[in-house]
Structure 1
Amino acid sequence: MPFYGRPSKNCESCRERRIKCDRIQPTCSQCKRAGKTCGGYRDIPAFMFRDETDKAAQRSALAKSRSAEREGITQGSTLSHTSSSKRSTRDQSKTVVLSWKLNQPSLVISVPASVPTNVENQGLNFFFTQFVTEISGIDDFSFILSSSHLLGTPTVELPLQNAAISIGLAALSNVTRDRSLLLVAREKYVSCINLVRQAVENPDQANPDLILKLILMLGLYEMVCCNPNQIDMWTIHLDGAAALLKQTTFGRVIKARDPRAQMQYFYISMVRYFLIGGDVPEDILNFNINTIRSSHPDDIPGLSLIGILVRFMRLHSARNDPAFDPAVNLLVAINLDTELEEWEQGLPEKWKFTVEHSDDMQHTFHGKYILYKDLWASRDLNHYFWGRLAINEFILNLLATLATVGCFLPNDAEQRQRSLDTASRMAMDACAGAASQLGTYASAIPYKRESRVPRLNIVFMLLFPLTIAGSSTAAPDEVHEWVVQKLQEIGSSMGIQRAVELIPRIKQSRAVRAQR
C-alpha cells in the first residue's frame, strides 16, 4: 500500500536533527555550516509507493492461498452483516476467517462458501456499467479500454484489467455490503501497488504510460474505499504521479500524449490544491496557453480556462502571505471574474450551453438541466462553474475582511450583490450540469466514436464541483439539499464511499461560512 503521510523533502541529516533544511543539492547549507556530511535526500516517488508494513505481503499471500479454493466454490448463501452472525461465525472452527486493516480499525471478515466463480467478471461488469462513458450500440469493453485517454493500450493489459476489477468489486461491495468481494478487490489493488513500486525502483525498465494509468486507477480505488479520516487519500497517488513526472522518462510520456490528457492533469492538480492546500507544483504555477501544444480548435477554450484558473490559484495561495493586500487583490479577483464572464460570452458554438426545463424532477435539478453540444465541453464547463463560484466566494471574503477594518469601496454594496448573484448562478448551473451528465440525460450529450472521446464517465470528477456548490453560503438552500441527496445516491447506487463521506464536510463548511 502507499505511504499515507506527507514525506519530508529535507535531507536525512536535517531530519535527524529536526531543523529546517534549504534542500540545496548535493549538500544543504545546514550541513555545510555544521561541517557534517549531508545524509542525502529521499527518493520521494519510491517512498510514496512503498509497502507500509510486512503485513500487506502476508495478507496478499493469504488471499492468494485461498484463490484456488474460491474458484471451485459455487454460488450459495450471502454474507451476513449482523453483529450476532459475526460472533457466531468466529465460533465456527470450519469457517475461514481473515483479518486485515483497510485504513481503519481491524475488521474480522468471514469468507462465505458462496464466492462465485465469476467474481472478477462481476467486478469488470460493475466497473464498465457504472464508471465508463455510455457508448450507444457498443458492447465491446475491449474497444473502450484500448482507445481510452485514461485506460488501455491496443490490447487490454492485465494490470489495467486488475485495476478495473479492484475498483468494480470494491464499489459493488459497498453497494451490496458483501465483504467477500472486497477481499478479491484488495488482492488486485495490492498487485497494482506492487507493480507501481517496482516501476519506481527501476524506472528505466518500466512502461511509463501504463504506470501513470495505473496510478490514476489507484486514485479512483481510494475514492471508492475511503473512510471519514482519509477522505482525500486519493491525492496521495496524484502527488506520486507528479513526482514521477519530474523524471525525464515519465515526463516525456505526458508531453507526448493527446493535449486532452495533459489538460486533465492540470484540472485534477487544481482540484487537489483547493481540496487540501499545500505547495502548488511549479509546472502548474508556470502554466501558460503555450504549455500544452494543441492544434485542435476545440482545445483552445479549455486552455484559456486553465490559464485563468491557474492565476486564481496563485492569488489564492498568496492570501496568507503577510504582504498580501486585500484591497489590491480584491481588484485582481474582480478582474479574474470579469475574464471568466467574457470567456463564457465568447465561447464557440460547440461549447455553448443552455439551461432547459423539464417536468422530470427525479433526474434534474428541480426541473432544470443543461443541454450541451459536446461531451468534452460539458466536462470543461464543470471547471468553469466551480472556478467562477470559488472566485466570487473569494471576492466576498475579501469584502468582509476590508469591512472589519472600516475600508469600503465606492461600489462595495453593488459588488457584493453581483458576487452573490454570480456565485448562486454558478452553484445552480453546477447542479443542473451534474444532473445532465448523470443518468437519464447523459446519453443526450453529442459525441462521436473517436479517440478523443473520454471513456471514463464524469462521476468521480463531479464530486468536487458538487462539493463547492453545496458548501457555498451564496447558494440557496435548495442547492445544498440537492447536493447532499445526490451524493447519497452516488454512494448508495455506485458504491463511491467518498461521495457519502463528503456530506459531513459540506454541512460543516457551510455552517462555518454562515457564521462569518
Structure 2
Amino acid sequence: MVFCGKPSGGCHACRARKTRVSRIGIYVKNSVILVLEGQALLLNRLLSSRFFTDQPQCDKIDIAEGGCTQCKRAKRTCPGYRIAGELIFRDESSNVVRKFKATEARHKKALAGRRHFAASSSSAQSTTSSPRVSESDQEEKYQSEISVTSPEVVQQDQLSLSYSLAPNLEDRATSFFAFHYILDPKGPSKPLMDRATDLFQNQHLDESLLASMRAVGLAAYSHTAHAPSLMNNAKYQYLRAIQFTNAAIRNPEDVKKDSTLMAIQILAIFETVTGCRQRSLKDWIEHVYGAAAVIRLRGPEQVQTLGGRRLLLHAVSNILINCVYRGIRLPEHLREYLFETFKQSAESRLEYLLMDVMVRFADLRAGVQDGSVTGLANILSSALEMDSVLLKLYTNPPPGWEYKTILTDAQTDVIFDGRYHIYSDHLVALMWNWLRTLRIMLNGMIREILLNGFTATPPLFTHVKYTAQFQTATETIFALQGDILASVPQHVGRGNPPRSMATQAHSDNIEEVPPITMSEASSLIWPLWFAGNMANATDKIREFTLRILHSIGDIQGVRQAHVLANLLQTKSAIRVWDMQRETAHPSRSALLIQDSLKTS
C-alpha cells in the first residue's frame, strides 16, 4: 500500500483553497473495509495515530454541523466533509489489474520464441560451480568479450518461466543439443553422436561433456531464437568445457573415457555453430586434431567396443576432410585404428569403403606434392582405379542407401533446376555427397593429367580411349555437381514438394513442416561450398549456393556457413588451412595433450 500522507479533514472548498482544518470531528476506532481485487478484506485493527487522533488540534477552521465556519463567513455553500475512514485506504483494483496484465504480456512476449525450447525434457543434472577456466588462446578470445560472475549470466527475469518446476537454462541447453545432434533419425544410419545416448542412460556424464553440450545448445538456441544474450552463457560454458577437458587429459584414466573424446568433438561443433570469421575454420580443425591426439592416448582398446569405433570414425572422417583438401597423409596411428575398425565390422558399409578411398586419395595427393609419386601414367592409373571403386558404390549402393530423384515444376528457393532427391535420412545424404565430392576431385585430377599429357612434347595419351576418358570425366563432374545441388532439399527443405527455408522458419504447423535439425543443415555446407567453388560453376549455380549457405547461417543458425559463402563470393582459398603446419597437432582446447604424448 502506498502512503500518500496524512489526509486533510477539511471540506472540498477549504482543501481547494489550502485552508488548514482545526480539528477532526470524526474518530475511527472500529474495523475498516478494504476493497482490493473485488473482494472485501476485514481488517480488525485500530488505526495508527499517524493518520488520526482523538485529540483536537488548534487551527484556523472550526468544524460545525452542516458545514464549516470558514465557508459560512465566505457566504458559500459548504460541500461537506469526507468520511475519514474512507480516506485511509484507496481502491487500487484497476491499477493492480493493469499492472498484472502488462507484466503478463511481457512474459508471454519473452517466452513466445522459446516455447519448443522450454518444452524439451531435461536429460542431465545441472551444475552450479563457476570456476575460471583454461589458459588457452580460446580463453583470451572470449574473456575479452564476456565478464562471468556466475553461471547465470543472463538475468532470470529475461528467461523467467510460467511454471516453477520448468527445467533450468542449462538443462534446456542440453536438451536442445540432444534434439539436434543425438536423437536417432529414422533410417539405416546412426547419428554421429549416438554414443552419447548410452552415456546418458548409464549416467556416465562427465563435466567436460556436459559443459560442451551446454555450450553448443546455448549457442545454437541463441541464433535460432534470436536471443543474443544467451551467447555469453554459451561462451562461459565453452570455457568451462575446455578447463574440464584439460583436467581429464591430465588423468591417465579420464583421457581414455569416451566422454572426453566426445567433449572435444563437440567443441569442434561449437566452432561450426558460432564461427563468423575464417579463423573459426582453423579453430575447428585444431579441435579435430586434438581429438586425434586423444585417440592416440586411448590406445587400441578403443576399437573393441561399438561406441569406441563410432567415435573413432567420426573423428577420423573430419580429419580426412582436411587431409584430402591439403594433400597430406592421415597420421599413422589413425590409419592403424581405422583399418582395425574395418576388420571389426561384420559388414561392408558404404562409409567404410568411402573412407578407405579417402585415405588412399590423400596419400596420392601427398605423394604427388612431395614427389614420391611420379609419372603421369602412374598417377592416372591410380586415380582411375579409385574412381572405379566409387563408381561401383554409386551404381550399386547397399540396401537402404538408395534415393529417389523427383522432377517438379514447383517454384521454391531450395530446388535447383526443377530436380531434387529424397533420401532415407540426412546421414545417408551426407555420405552420398562426400562420395560425389571425392569423385569430383578424382575426375578433376584425371582431366588435369590428361590435359598435361595432351600438351606435352612429345604428346602423351594419344590413343582414342584417352580422349573418351577425358570426355567421360568432364561429364561426370557436371553430373555430380548437379546431384549435390539436388540434395539441398533433404537438408534444408520440408514438405512435398520442399518449401522455401523462409516459409518453414515462420510456419506454425509443426505436423506439416517437421523441424530441421542443425546437424542436417551443417552437414551440407562443405559439399555445397565445393559444388559452388568448382571451375565449371555457372553464375546461376553460384547464386544458388550463396543463397542456401547464407540461409543456413541465418535460419538454421550455423554461422560458419556465412564464412564459406564469403569465401565462395570472393573466390578465395581457405588461407588459415594453408598456413597450418604440415604435421597434425593438437588443439588449443587440449594444450596438455602435447606434454602427455611426450611422456607416454
Indicate whether the TM-score tops 0.5: yes
The SS at the match of 1:269 is helix
Change (3 A) 1:329 1:181: same
1:464 corresponds to which letter in structure 2? W
Pairs within 5 Å for 1:254-265: 254-258=303-307, 259-265=309-315
Change (3 A) 1:67 1:289: closer
Give the deviation of 1:355 after TM superposition: 1.8
Which of 350, 353, 361 is matched with 1:312 structurally?
Answer: 361
Q: Does 2:492 correspond to 1:438?
A: yes
The SS at the match of 1:356 is strand
Pairs within 5 Å for 1:240-279: 240-247=290-297, 249=298, 251-258=300-307, 259-279=309-329
CA shift digits 1:245-304 (9 cap, x unpaired) = 112x3552354234544433332221122344545311455688664234453x433322
Gaps of 5+ in 1: 1-48, 77-115, 137-142, 445-454
Distance 1:208 1:313 in 2: 30
Change (3 A) 1:462 1:402: same
Q: Which residue of 2 aligns with 1:334?
A: 384
Q: Does 2:263 correspond to 1:214?
A: yes
Q: Does 2:214 correspond to 1:180?
A: no
Question: Please, what TM-score do these two structures have when normalized by structure 1?
Answer: 0.68
Q: Which residue of 1 aligns with 2:211?
A: 162
Equivalenced residues, count: 407
Q: Which residue of 2 aligns with 1:357?
A: 407
State whether residues 491 and 497 of structure 1, in contact with CA within 8 Å, keep that contact through their aligned partners in structure 2. Answer: yes
Distance 1:212 1:245 in 2: 8
The SS at the match of 1:203 is coil
Q: Does 2:215 correspond to 1:191?
A: no
State whether residues 151 and 213 of structure 1, in contact with CA within 8 Å, keep that contact through their aligned partners in structure 2. Answer: no
Range 304-313 or range 231-240, more displaced: 304-313
Q: Which residue of 1 aligns with 2:476?
A: 422
Q: What is the Cα-based RMSD across aligned positions, in Å?
A: 4.0
State whether residues 219 and 273 of structure 2, in contact with CA within 8 Å, keep that contact through their aligned partners in structure 1. Answer: yes
The SS at the match of 1:318 is helix
Distance 1:178 1:261 in 2: 32
State whether residues 518 and 556 of structure 2, in contact with CA within 8 Å, keep that contact through their aligned partners in structure 1. Answer: no
Change (3 A) 1:471 1:483: same
Greater fraction of residues in helix: 1
Which of 460, 463, 469 is matched with 2:522 structurally?
Answer: 460
Give the deviation of 1:203 after TM superposition: 2.4
1:398 corresponds to which letter in structure 2? I
Pairs within 5 Å for 1:493-508: 493-508=555-570
CA shift digits 1:354-390 (9 cap, x unpaired) = 3222344344333322233466543322221111111
Range 277-286 or range 56-65, more displaced: 56-65
Change (3 A) 1:223 1:147: closer
Distance 1:260 1:57 in 2: 32
Give the deviation of 1:348 after TM superposition: 3.1
Which of 429, 440, 451 is matched with 1:389 structurally?
Answer: 440
Change (3 A) 1:256 1:188: same
Higher-Rg member (1/2) = 2
Q: Which residue of 2 aligns with 1:31?
A: none
Distance 2:350 2:159 in 1: 52
Change (3 A) 1:152 1:220: farther
The SS at the match of 1:355 is strand
Gaps of 5+ in 2: 1-132, 161-165, 499-516, 575-600
State whether residues 181 and 192 of structure 2, in contact with CA within 8 Å, keep that contact through their aligned partners in structure 1. Answer: no
CA shift digits 1:314-353 (9 cap, x unpaired) = 1111121235223320222122212211222232332222
Question: Please, what TM-score do these two structures have when normalized by structure 2?
Answer: 0.59
Q: Which residue of 1 aligns with 2:129?
A: none
Q: Which residue of 1 aligns with 2:135?
A: 51
Q: Does 2:427 correspond to 1:343?
A: no
Distance 2:330 2:417 in 1: 37
State whether residues 329 and 363 of structure 2, in contact with CA within 8 Å, keep that contact through their aligned partners in structure 1. Answer: no
State whether residues 208 and 250 of structure 1, in contact with CA within 8 Å, keep that contact through their aligned partners in structure 2. Answer: no
Distance 1:380 1:70 in 2: 40
Q: Does 2:202 correspond to 1:202?
A: no
CA shift digits 1:57-94 (9 cap, x unpaired) = 99499844244674544459xxxxxxxxxxxxxxxxxx
Identical aligned residues as a percent: 21
State whether residues 414 and 488 of structure 2, in contact with CA within 8 Å, keep that contact through their aligned partners in structure 1. Answer: no
